[in-house]
A and B are shown apart, each in its own frame.
Chain A
């Protein structure tokens, strides 16, 4: 597993897009994230790995302030996007989320047509001036999400009528249609078959040329295949963070080693 090819791991890493320092997250009294420091580089794929319930999704949701919607959730510490504090009073979370897109753990298409699902973001952000531009955006997004071939003849059909894996790719298409600068993906492939997974991984690699991608995954192979940086979470702590090949071949913490070799999880 450790010698799985890591695509483009030689690409030089640029300066950081998102920096998080001293981040704590509480759900009421539950301390879900404990003092996490991490730098997410531009034009890089960063993988978050760790056992279930360790706080990967929670931390990911801090990065585009989706945790604001949970009443009991409290975030402490600093998270900066391009050097600007995203928890600053002046920040409008809506504007932030247009820059930092998200694909959720469970597919959640709108109960509207496939076309409207993908076009929605472009519509509300005014990205298309006319119908043909919008059509082009929709087609491009669906192609990138490896879904175009399956749905091109039924763009008017409801998005909720697709299979689970197709729905997840639809959600990916919806997220990339707005051209975010950072794309957060929470286990995007957990419902996909190997072929679709490969297509999504290809998409992630393609996105890396322009965006930062943060991907949560339970698959070591996937993390090794698509990411350049890997962060290992355990019980709310960021145990280890570094270059993917290093984490997988020469981890410095024994918990990391136990996890990737399958002894804790």
Chain B
């Protein structure tokens, strides 16, 4: 033994041997590659977020023209008895003169010098301006005869001018707006009549027709998505969890369960549009459920989400150590008691995470909605009851975004980006919730 000691050359641990050097170099190279990969990923993320935010943030602001409007009794209620059915007979055309008068008054009050005709001034407002005013009057007939302060939506060209999307050069061929109108807009801006402010209606409002991008909001589509998610959660969580528990804990392991298992994995990989066509064939053509209804959308998305939930639930059931099951069985618990008292609570964080991720996927899904008629539909009213929310035609957030992106007017394009921001906020909050729940319920064993 002492001979062997003499034969090995004495090395110092203060100098690195060539082997150690090579090993360390390889490790350093690997670390650098890893950091490069992560930096590229982060850069992409920042670029993506930056683009979305810069393009979409404008949708949350809108230009408004605030003026004093005299609600002339002679125009709105000729009989003077405030009879609602008579007031309703006055169409939006009856309100246009009031708006022109309001402009004339504003010009006089603010001392603005302009050659623009009041007719052209009124055209700077949204096409829904008269209707907005009419709705207010119908809701408050007692205001007829008074002068009220009213905030009109400016049309999308004026709004675009304030947001930098529209300039004097770019409108050369645009017959919807003139240079004179832009000049007047500058004067109104200076006088404080025209203002760009936060627009809650984009978040809570309904979609609008092609002619009125400034009035379009995503709120009703959001309700559509919400009702779909309720259906998805209510169906896929219990069905998915029950199926997984049965397959994982109770089902005998034979070729039938093997086939089922393979098929569930395959289902998870099926393109979502296939589920859409299945939904069209089964739920609409065969079962005659209403078209464009969130209930049908929810059913289709449930089919799509189930495999995800089953797979993640089974994975989290598998990760519970078998010794826990043995322990429960060993004190005389039944299979079901061992599963529900011990295994399921330990698997719960994983199940929750899987479910929320599945819901997130479903929330962002567009293709299957295409086939069941939830795209291109303009729902103008908020559902008032749960039944209505489930059954009356509606759209969904991603479908609404797709619809806006398709339209020609750049004002809609901006709204599409704004919609994406809202969708992302939902997804990020759901994922955050998943992380929080996992942290909270996670236990060591």
State whether the Cβ of A64 lies closer than 8 Å to any Cβ in chain B.
yes
List the B side residues contacting A160 at CB < 8 Å.
Answer: 444-445
Q: How far is the CA of A103 from the CA of B444 in the complex (A)?
A: 21
Structural contact, B331 and A178, CB atoms closer than 8 A? yes
On chain A, the residues within 8 Å of B212 by CB distance are none
Cβ of A69 within 8 Å of any chain B Cβ, yes or no, is: yes
Determine if A104 and B332 form an interchain contact, defined as CB atoms under 8 angstroms apart. Answer: no
Report if A163 contacts B (CB, 8 A): no
- Verify B323–A111 contact, CB threshold 8 A: no
Shortest CB–CB separation between residue B322 and chain A, in angstroms?
A: 8
Of B327, B328, B329, most buried by chain A (CB within 10 Å of CB) is B327
Of A83-91, A118-126, A222-230, A255-263, the segment with at least 4 beta carbons within 8 Å of chain B is A118-126
Closest-by-CB residue of A relative to B335 is A94
Cβ of B327 and Cβ of A109 under 8 Å apart?
Answer: yes
Chain A, Cβ-Cβ closest to B443: A111
| B residues 308-357 in Cβ contact with A at 8 Å | 321-335, 337, 341-342, 346
The distance from the CB of B98 to the nearest CB of chain A, in whole angstroms, is 72
The residue from B321, B323, B328, B331 contacting A175, defined by CB atoms under 8 A apart = B331
A167-182 contacts to B, CB under 8 A, are: 171, 174-175, 178
Q: Is A110 part of the binding interface, using a Cβ–Cβ cutoff of 8 Å? A: yes
A104 and B323 form a contact (CB under 8 A): yes
Q: Given contacts A110-B342, A124-B332, A125-B332, are A171 and B327 in contact (CB under 8 A)?
A: yes
Interface readout for A146-180 with B: 1 if CB under 8 Å, 0 if not? 00000000000010100000000001001100100
Q: Measured between alpha carbons, how far is A121 from B337 in the docked complex, in Å?
A: 11
| Nearest chain A CB to B281 CB, angstrom units | 40
> Is the C-beta of B253 less than 8 angstroms from some C-beta in chain A?
yes
A104 to B324, CA, bound (A): 11
Residue of A nearest to B254 (CB): A71
> How long is the Cα–Cα vector from A102 to B333 in the complex, in angstroms?
12
Report the Cα distance A71→B249, complex, angstroms: 12
Name which residue of chain B comes closest to A123, CB basis: B341
Query: Across the interface, which residues of A come within 8 angstroms of B328, CB to CB?
Result: 110, 120
CA distance A94 to B335 in the complex (A): 8
Question: For residues 71 through 122 of chain A, which have their beta carbon under 8 Å from a beta carbon of chain B?
Answer: 71, 93-95, 97-98, 101-104, 106, 108-111, 120-121
Listed residue (A64, A109, A111, A121) with the most chain B CB atoms within 10 angstroms of its CB: A111
Residue among B326, B329, B444 making CB contact with A111, cutoff 8 Å: B444
Q: Chain B's nearest CB lies how many Å from the CB of A249?
A: 35
Question: Nearest chain-A residue to B342 (Cβ)?
Answer: A110
Q: Cβ of B331: which chain A residues have Cβ within 8 Å of it?
A: 97-98, 101, 120-121, 124, 174-175, 178
Distance of A111 Cα from B334 Cα, bound (Å): 18
Instruction: Answer whether residue A136 sits at the interface, using C-beta atoms and an 8 A cutoff.
Output: no
A128 to chain B minimum Cβ distance, whole angstroms, is 14
| Given the contacts A69-B325, A104-B326, A111 and B332 also touching, CB distance less than 8 Å | no
The closest CB in chain B to the CB of A65 belongs to B329
| B contact residues vs A (CB 8 Å cutoff) | 253, 321-335, 337, 341-342, 346, 443-445
User: Interface of A with B (CB < 8 Å)?
Assistant: 64, 66, 69, 71, 93-95, 97-98, 101-104, 106, 108-111, 120-121, 124-125, 158, 160, 171, 174-175, 178
